[in-house]
Every structure is written in C-alpha cells, then in structure tokens.
Amino acid sequence: MADVSLKNVGKTYEKASATTIEDLNLDINSGEFVVLVGPSGCGKSTTLRMIAGLEELSDGEIWIAERRVDGLEPRERDIAMVFQNYALYPHMTVAQNMSFGLRLSGMDKAEIRRRVDESARILEISSLLDRRPKQLSGGQRQRVAMGRAMVRDPAVFLFDEPLSNLDAKLRGQMRAEIRRLHKRLKATTIYVTHDQVEAMTLADRVVVLNKGRIEQQGTPQELYERPATRFVAGFIGSPTMNFLPAEIVSDASGAMLAIGETTIPVPPHKSEAILRQTGKAIEIGLRPEHFLADGQSDFFVTVDMAELLGPTTLVHFVFAGTTCSAMLPPELAAREGERQSLRIAFDKLSIFDPETGRAL
C-alpha cells in the first residue's frame, strides 16, 4: 500500500478542443479507494494516465509512496492498471496472461505459479486457467484482467472505466466483486468512471472533476447530501436533482422561500446565508425523494407521466414553470392526468447562487 500525491499537476494540449488540466492537487491515503468521476472530457482518464506514466505532465509532480515518479517509466512506478478493453493476449491462456509480466521480470517459476493460483482462487477463476480469452464471457475476462494486476502485488491499483463494456447485470455483480476485493487486499485504488452509480457504491472518497478541475471531493454521502456546486448536485444522484427558480421574501413570520406561488420556511441550517440574499433570485435544488405525498399538502400538480419502478413510482409534473420529478410510494402516486398533492421536505433542499453556481 502507498500514498499517492498530485502536486500542482497540469496538462495542456496543442488542440484547443482537448481538456486542459491546471494546478490539480490531490492526496490519496494508503489503502483508500478513490473514484474520479465526471462527464466525458472532464480530464479524469488523463489524470489516471498521468499517474500511470502513459501521459506526460506539462507541470507539477506525482509522488507514490514518498517517491517522486513523474520522471519514471510506467514499469518503474509500482502500479498495475486494469483497462476498459481488458487488453488480454488472445493467443495466451488465462494463466499465461496473468503471469506474463512476472515472467518478463525473471521471477522464479514457483513464485509465479503461487501468485497466479492465489489470485485465481480469490477471483474464483481457477477452473479457467487453461482457457483462452475467446472462450470467456465479458465478466470472466474482466476477472482475468484484475488477476493480472493482482499478481504483481503493486503499491497502487488503477482502474480505467473497467465495467463500461459489460451489461447492467454484470456491472452490478462486478461492482460487488471489486469492492470485496478491495476490502480483502486493502490496496490503494484509484478508479475512473463516468457512471455516478459506480462512484457512489464503490468509493471511500469521490472526486468530481469538471473541465479539468476538481469541483468537490468527499464521501459519497457528503456529495449527495451537501453538494458544493450546482454541477455536483446535478451530476450526483439518479434520478437527477430538480432545480427550481426561487426568491427570498419576508412576511410577518420572517424570511420565507417563494417557489412560484408556493412559500415554505427557510431551513434552519440555511437561515444565516439565506437572510443575506433577501430580495435576490436564488435556485433551489430538491431531490425527487424530497417531494412528499403524506397528506400535508404544500401544493397540487397535474401528473404528466408516472413510471412504476417496482418499490417506487417516478412522477413527472410541472411546478413553478419547471419540469420536475418526484419519487413516491406507488400507493400514494397519482396516475397520468390526475392531480397530485405534494409537500416539500424543506430541511433537505439545497440552495444555489444562480450566478456562481455555488451552494449557499
């Protein structure tokens, strides 16, 4: 295990369309599982490739286990990388693929066999060691790619969107496998994905990237409940957060939030920041599960569409001139064209400055 530190890392390209990374600083603790997440083109894969040594830095330093590595070749950095396309040799067996790097390094054959057998046992692919990649399913190939990384016993594991080629069911299974594997090996792991569900379910810490910079980092729960920016709020969570224009108004009872024709109390934990915005336009962020249908109505809407998702129903409607969605128990959800009574869980909402996009 090893700490990883990126210090003022930058990457610039000649092409203006490529994402530029400027002054990126990130410290990853030994044994931590960190997920870099963001939309396509945000710089997450470039960051991972710079750590691996597959991309040169334009500026800054990269340290692994208190050793500066940005001037070293990939093989000298004590890392192992699992790629999106598995990168298995089609003419080699599973055992040969897993052991290839060790054989090139001149390791003793008995030790190679021990490592291959142990990794295969952990990954439950012992019965596949004599097969070739074309004889394997997508999930089995991904296990082989993980096994090839494991046998090297690296200081750091790097995963570059490893599940993107799998179907939804296999992705769920492999997420659980990777998480179990990390708990067992306790290895420092940096994982890149554009899938925020993977980020939320796998990570000890999530780092959200946008246009080559870090928007926010924290535990999955922190990012979900306390997004620092509108971008993070909209990216983390599925279904996505609802955003509504609002205003701070005052009446006899004090400051209130006006959302369309509906007014609700200012959340106590937001009151100090909100009072400074009295009379100004703001933006409310409200997750679908924070619209409540419990009989204590704040307002009524007409349901445009209702999607039954098993234990919940996703109800779509227009509120304050904005298309919104609410996640409701099926027995409380109105059908399409019917009126739906709703209440806002005002203590759960996020509030953003519409000009800066920062949370208040």
Domain spans in the chain, listed from the N-terminal domain onward: 4-235, 242-352
CB atoms within 10 A of CB 65: 16
Share of the chain above pLDDT 70, in %: 94
CATH of 242-352, one of 1.10.510.10, 2.60.40.1120, 3.90.1150.60, 2.40.50.140: 2.40.50.140
**137 or 264, which is more confident:** 137
pTM, two decimals, is 0.90
Asked if the model's pLDDT at residue 86 lies above 90, the reply is: no
pLDDT at 185: 86
Buried b (16+ CB within 10 A) or exposed e, 146-169: bbbbbbbebbbbbbbbbbeebeee
Residues 60, 19 contacting (CB under 8 angstroms): no
pLDDT (tens digit, 9 = 90+) per residue, 195-253?
Answer: 888 999 999 999 999 999 999 999 999 999 999 999 999 999 989 999 999 988 876 66
Say whether domain 4-235 belongs to CATH 3.40.50.300. yes
The per-residue pLDDT for 257 is: 83
Using left for φ > 0, alpha for ψ between -120 and 50, and beta otherwise, residue 270 falls in alpha
> Is residue 314's pLDDT more than 90?
yes
Instruction: Kindly report which listed range (87-101, 190-204, 246-260, 270-284) carries the lowest average pLDDT score.
Output: 270-284
Of 71-75, 159-163, 294-298, which range is least confident? 294-298
pLDDT per position as a tens digit, 279-302 = 678 899 999 999 999 888 889 999
Selection from 180, 267, 204 nearest residue 35 by Cα: 204
Residue reference for tokens 């019917």: 338
Instruction: Give yes or no for residue 7 having a pLDDT over 90.
Output: yes
